Amino acid sequence: MTIQQKNIPLVDLGAQYRSIKTEVDTVIANVLEHSAFIGGTFVQQFEEEFAKAQDVKYCVGVGNGTDAIIIVLKALGIGVGDEVIIPANSFIATSEAVTACGASVVFADCGSADYCISPESIAAKITIRTKAVVAVHLYGQPAQMDEIIALTKKHNLFLIEDSAQAHLAEYKGKKVGNFGIAATFSFYPGKNLGSYGDAGAIVTNDEALAVRCRMLANHGRAKGEKYDHHIEGYNSRLDGLQAAILSVKLKHLSEWTKKRRAVAQRYDEEFRGMKDLGIFPRVAERESVYHLYVVRTKKRDALREYLKAQGIEAGIHYPIGLPFLEAYKRLGHTPADFPHTAQFQNEILSLPIYPELTTEDQSRIINACAEFCENKTV
């Protein structure tokens, strides 16, 4: 009789919840008991804790990571007639935020190896209308910040860090969020620090910007005010339940990050040299937090189907480069405009990686990849 193996998901949020169930259930009950649903002590506590974790002065909780980008752009006065450069290889939230502000999105290609926005491509896209660059720390690895900072300073541009996948990531020993005028974070459930719904945050070391972002996120009101609206804003607030849950998870984030790095290190060791399977290059100065573990193969779709047959879920982040989406057909881009993005979208595959991934499950994943690539099993 054949014993059916369990399926290995891309991420296992149920396992994470079970590991902290008592803590989470307790804080949810506390929020309900105090009716602290909008604003209040739970939100303030998390904002202070997250600012400290990221080594920044200010944190403004908002409704989600997309709103975070929109609010920062609006707070910086970016709008109609302005251009904002963003990576071609990213989630649409990065680009649609630019358009939502009335500005024009300009795509830059990713690097030939690291998948993050290419400084060389940024340089080629700068015009007199360019007002900002949004550097996405993709898959949990920081972008090439030295080169990007040099470009933004040279051309007097705002630098915004889209850190939705990079909680606690570091560049040359410095936490992301400390390189640009502001950084934005998503706490979507599947993120390394994930809520149980939509949630996001803006971090900055600029007090005036933090105040304006908070006003924009809360109907244009200053903190503590109810009906005195200084400007027109939005309704994008981090709610008390999500803030309390995030405070619980934040206590575990460093340990979870260590476990993610350990999984990634084993993958690197086992996949290095494996036929037809390319791994993400590691750069010592850029400390990834491995939100995703991405490999490359020209046989991507076949490998994904093979893994699925073995009960292993794999994902694609992202299967269509932003410039090639129907949403941006108006821009008339072709694959030749973004050769690296065009190539990678057909080759990248995300393998399961999360703190609760067992050694046995890692072996199953590695074995399956090795078998597919006609290597010996481990």
Inter-residue contact 97 to 66 (CB < 8 Å): yes
Domain end position, chosen among 190, 221, 247 = 247
Q: Are strands 158-162 and 182-186 parallel, antiparallel or unpaired?
A: parallel
Domain end marker among 193, 226, 247: 247
Give the single-character DSSP code of 6.
Answer: P
Q: 315 and 189 in one domain? A: no
- In the predicted model, is pLDDT for residue 316 greater than 80? yes
Query: How high does pLDDT run on average in the chain?
Result: 96
HSE of 48, CA atoms in CB hemisphere, 13 A? 6
Q: Is the pLDDT of residue 376 over 70?
A: no
Task: Report CA torsion sign: 189, 176, 73, 237.
Answer: positive
Q: Which residues on adjacent β-strands are paired with residue 200?
A: 62, 186
Same domain, 215 and 279: no
Specify if 139 maps to a domain. Answer: yes
Q: Write the pLDDT tens digit of every residue in 66-78.
A: 999 999 999 999 9
Query: What confidence tens digit (pLDDT) does each residue in 128-182 have?
Result: 999 999 999 999 999 999 999 999 999 999 999 999 999 999 999 999 999 999 9
Cα angle 145, 149, 153 (rounded to 5 degrees) comes to 180
* Domain CATH for 70: 3.40.640.10
* 3-state SS assignment for residue 267: helix
Note whether 124 and 239 are same-domain residues. yes
Structural domain that includes position 342: 253-372
Instruction: For residue 96, give the H/E element and its range.
Output: helix 92-100
Asked if pLDDT for residue 225 goes beyond 90, the answer is: no
Phi, psi of 34 (to 5 degrees): -95, 0
Residues 50 and 189 in one domain: yes
In a domain, 357, yes or no: yes
Structure tokens at 308: 């699925």
Return d(Cα 199, Cα 189) in angstroms, integer: 9
377 has a pLDDT exceeding 70: no
Query: Which is it for the CA torsion 247, 252, 254, 258, positive or negative?
Result: negative
What's the full length of the chain, in residues? 378
| Residue 87: per-residue pLDDT | 98
Please check whether residues 152 and 170 belong to one and the same domain. Answer: yes
Pair (48, 95) in one structural domain: yes
Residue ending a domain, among 247, 277, 299, is 247
Angle, nearest 10°, between helix axes 21-34 and 41-53? 140
Same domain, 152 and 269: no
Beta bridge partners of 38: 239
**Burial (CB count within 10 angstroms: exposed 0-12, middle 13-18, buried 19+), residue 39:** middle
- Indicate if the pLDDT at residue 1 is higher than 50: no
The reported pLDDT for the residue numbered 2 is 45
- Cα(363)–Cα(267) distance, rounded to whole angstroms? 9
- The residues, any chain, with a CB within 8 Å of residue 226's CB and separated by 6 or more, are none
pTM across the whole model? 0.96
Residue 34 and residue 175 share a domain:
yes
Residues 179, 280 within the same domain: no
Tell me, what's the pLDDT at 7? 96
The whole-number pLDDT of residue 271 equals 96
Within a domain: 378: no
Say if residue 310 is in the same domain as residue 183.
no
Strands, DSSP E only, in 166-324?
170-171, 174-175, 182-186, 200-204, 278-279, 286-287, 293-296
Instruction: Quickly tell me which residue has 């699925």 as its tokens.
Output: 308
Contact 267, 279 (CB under 8 A): yes
Of the candidates 313, 315, 257, 312, the residue with the CA atom closest to the CA atom of residue 288: 257
pLDDT surpassing 90 at residue 280: no
Task: Using the predicted structure, report yes or no on whether residue 279 has a pLDDT greater than 60.
Answer: yes
From residue 370, how far is each of 149, 281, 316, 347 by CA, in Å?
40, 19, 19, 17
Same domain, 208 and 306: no
The answer to whether residues 304 and 182 belong to one domain is no
Residue 2 lies in a domain: no
- Write down the pLDDT at residue 3: 54
